[in-house]
Amino acid sequence: MHDLAMRDSRPTPRSVPIVAGPLEVRLARSAAELESAQRLRYQVFVEEWGASANANARRLRRDADAFDPAMGHLVVLDRRRPAGAQVVGNYRLLSLDPDEGAAYYSSREFDLSPLLASGRRLLELGRSCVMADYRGGAVLQLLWRAIAAYVAQHDIGLLFGCASLRGTDPAAMAEQLAYLHRQHLAPPALRPRAQGPTCIDTDPDPALRVDASRALRQLEPIIRGYLRAGAWVGEGAYVDHEFQSIDVCIVLPTERMSARHRQNFERKLERPLLSAVHDRVPMAAARACVPP
């Protein structure tokens, strides 16, 4: 966890709010809403995932870092909750000019040179989390609906970011990692590569037999969602001991989001979106997190 000192934010891109009953998704508009998002992140990443946190973060119970001021914070607010605790879902967004690529969070773990040289307008996604009681799907659907609107509004050509497998033992995730490498590896022209002292090969044993169905089931739900949308992964992975995770780099050109996937997504949005929220049934298995 990084120090919680904040500096002035860059101007936030425009975002049209999406409202579904008591839920509203939009970019955070105030310091109070950002702090509420940081408290949610602390709850998920530190208290649930076991990520490390310094004394100041533990005292404030907020997950914050030096990247926060430069980013847009897409939040889902539940107006039925008390002020200061209304954020129940979060995504962190960052789009930079090409010469600012080193400022992307993912560049700490992956060489993003192929993406930066692609000529596409990039959008980095990160710090995705949903409060435990809201993991029935409605909140994540709202977040993705807002991301789709943002992509169209800002002419984004490619989405990317770190997606995590929970735990730090590569042997325990060997089948999942090999499956991602063998079935969903990005083409060389759009293939980030893991870098740094804790980077690992995701398919070191060609003799390993992979049950694709089992490996897919074992992946975090958010990663399965990315794959269904047409995403690839970069080469290698990064063991993040701070967040107690193994990270892969998701790469999703917007044109790979098939018409079938978009139509299926829209059909889901047409269903009673708030049923899982009204029931308030915790769904621990439906983890919707992409740290960092």
pLDDT in tens, 141-179: 899 889 988 998 899 999 999 999 999 999 999 999 999
Question: Residue 276: pLDDT above 80?
Answer: no
Give the Å distances, CA to CA, from 172 to 140, 166, 197, 261, 284. 28, 10, 20, 31, 20
- Position 42 scores a pLDDT of 95
The full set of domains in the chain, from first to last, is 18-279 (3.40.630.30)
pLDDT for 284 beyond 80: no
Q: What is the pLDDT of residue 97?
A: 76
- The pLDDT of residue 141 is 86
Tell me, what's the pLDDT at 140? 85
Buried/exposed code over 133-156 (b: 16+ C-beta within 10 A; e: otherwise): bbbbbbbbbbbbbbbbebbeeeeb
Least confident window among 53-57, 80-84, 96-100, 172-176: 96-100
| Mean confidence (pLDDT) of the chain | 84
- State the chain's maximal CA–CA distance in angstroms: 55
Q: Look at residue 225 in the predicted model and tell me its pLDDT.
A: 86
**Would you list the DSSP string of 126-183?**
EEEEE-GGGTTTHHHHHHHHHHHHHHHHTT--EEEEEEEEESS-GGGGHHHHHHHHHH
pLDDT of residue 287: 30
Instruction: Give the whole-angstrom CA distance, residue 64 versus residue 105.
Output: 13
Say what the pLDDT of residue 285 is: 26
Instruction: Determine which helix (DSSP H) or strand (DSSP E) holds 267, and give its type and residue range.
Output: helix 259-270
pLDDT of the residue at 257: 76
% of residues, the chain, pLDDT over 70: 81
pLDDT at 11: 39
Token pair recorded at residue 127:
């710090």
User: Is residue 260 predicted with pLDDT exceeding 70?
Assistant: no
* pLDDT higher than 60, residue 265: no
Question: What per-residue confidence (pLDDT) applies to 16?
Answer: 64
**Confidence at residue 109, expressed as pLDDT on a 0 to 100 scale:** 97
3-state class (DSSP) for residue 116 = helix
Judge whether residue 189 has pLDDT over 60.
yes
pLDDT digits (tens, 9 = 90+) for 4-37: 333 333 434 456 689 999 999 999 999 999 999 9
